Amino acid sequence: MEQAAFTGGIRPGGLTKSYEVNILICYILAQVGEPMTFAQLADTTQRDQLVNYFEFAQAMSLLEKSGQLELRREEDGREVYALTGSGLQAANTFGKDLPRSVRERAVGVARGILTRQRREKEIVTDIQRVEDGYRLVLRLTDIGSDLLDIGIFLPSEEACQRVRQRFLDDPMELYKGILDLLTGGESASPEGKSSIQDVSKGEHK
């Protein structure tokens, strides 16, 4: 059964033993330091073919029943899994026994997923039907004033969805690209909002 799972899609070096999958889930949550949804944890373990999906699902159920994971409901209605004290102890005690490549890949994917989640909370997009096509609104929020607030005319809803997805994939890269074009590259920088402040200072000199 385990061999079939391995040949069915798990990359060489992936985990096929139940106890290893249990430990990996606890280790991921311990390293990222915040709860994750079932889908996020599934994506974390599946993206690089580290774990068979059915083994993952069984491990999640077992960890919850054994008290190492706790299911919580967030203010936004999402159900997330949080690590309990015994789960953290398991991660700290046995996590180092997992292959280093598996640990690093899984934690890297998990952090990327959570970064995107936080990013999407800072992003507002809206597709509006107008007389001669569609208007896509893209807004990148920040503490205080918005970093970016633009409207783009596009001929179809499908085009709006494509542009919207590219914006969601890397909003700061798009923001910096626009800023670079408008400032001639003199003030654009990875610090984001500081670039706008630099431009403003230059205008008031």
Name residues whose C-beta falls within 8 Å of residue 175's C-beta, 6 or more positions apart in sequence: 140, 147, 148, 192
Name residues whose C-beta falls within 8 Å of residue 62's C-beta, 6 or more positions apart in sequence: 18, 22
**Bigger pLDDT: 109 vs 119:** 109
**pLDDT tens digits for range 135-163:** 999 998 876 778 889 999 999 999 999 99
Q: How many CB atoms lie within 10 A of CB 144?
A: 7
How far apart (Å, rounded) are the C-alpha atoms in residues 92 and 201? 49
Q: Could you tell me what percent of the chain has a pLDDT over 90?
A: 56
**Bigger pLDDT: 176 vs 87:** 87
**pLDDT tens digits for range 36-92:** 999 999 999 999 899 989 999 999 999 999 999 999 999 888 999 999 999 999 999
How far apart (Å, rounded) are the C-alpha atoms in residues 54 and 37? 17
**Bigger pLDDT: 195 vs 181:** 181
113 dihedral zone (left: phi>0; alpha: psi -120 to 50; beta): alpha
Give the pLDDT of residue 186. Answer: 66
Token couple for 74: 């967030």
Q: Averaged over 168-182, what is the pLDDT?
A: 86
Fold (CATH) for 2-120 = Arc Repressor Mutant, subunit A (1.10.10)
The model's pTM is: 0.67
Residue span(s) of the chain under CATH 1.10.10.10 come to 2-120
